Amino acid sequence: MAKTKSRTKQADIDGLYLLKLVLYVLAGSLWIRVSTSSIEIALPIGFMLALIIATHEKFRIDRKIEYAVLVLAMLVGYFAPYGLYISL
């Protein structure tokens, strides 16, 4: 019976880790793009907020992996056609 409890506890931790990585991918890929007739500015707002959360988080598993996921999500989010677009 003790083995089943440890397996379910490990599955819970794995599920939380996967959920955390998915949330980092979603948050890290959010950009705000402001464009006027001559200038376009893109700010990685989601990356900055997720980076602050990752540095102050209590449930740390491996911070290097979290940072790598955030950077990759930021790069994908820059080229993907979603986010907040503001045209002036």
CA dist 31 and 74 (Å) reads 8
Q: Which of 72, 67, 60, 74 is nearest to 17 (CA)?
A: 60
- pLDDT at position 33 is 87
Split into its structural domains, the chain has a count of: 1
8 within a domain of the structure (yes/no): no
25 within a domain of the structure (yes/no): yes
37 within a domain of the structure (yes/no): yes
14 within a domain of the structure (yes/no): no
Q: Which domain holds residue 35?
A: 20-87
6 within a domain of the structure (yes/no): no
Residue with the bigger pLDDT between 39 and 61: it is: 39
Residues 27-58 have pLDDT tens digits of 999 998 888 888 888 899 999 999 999 888 87
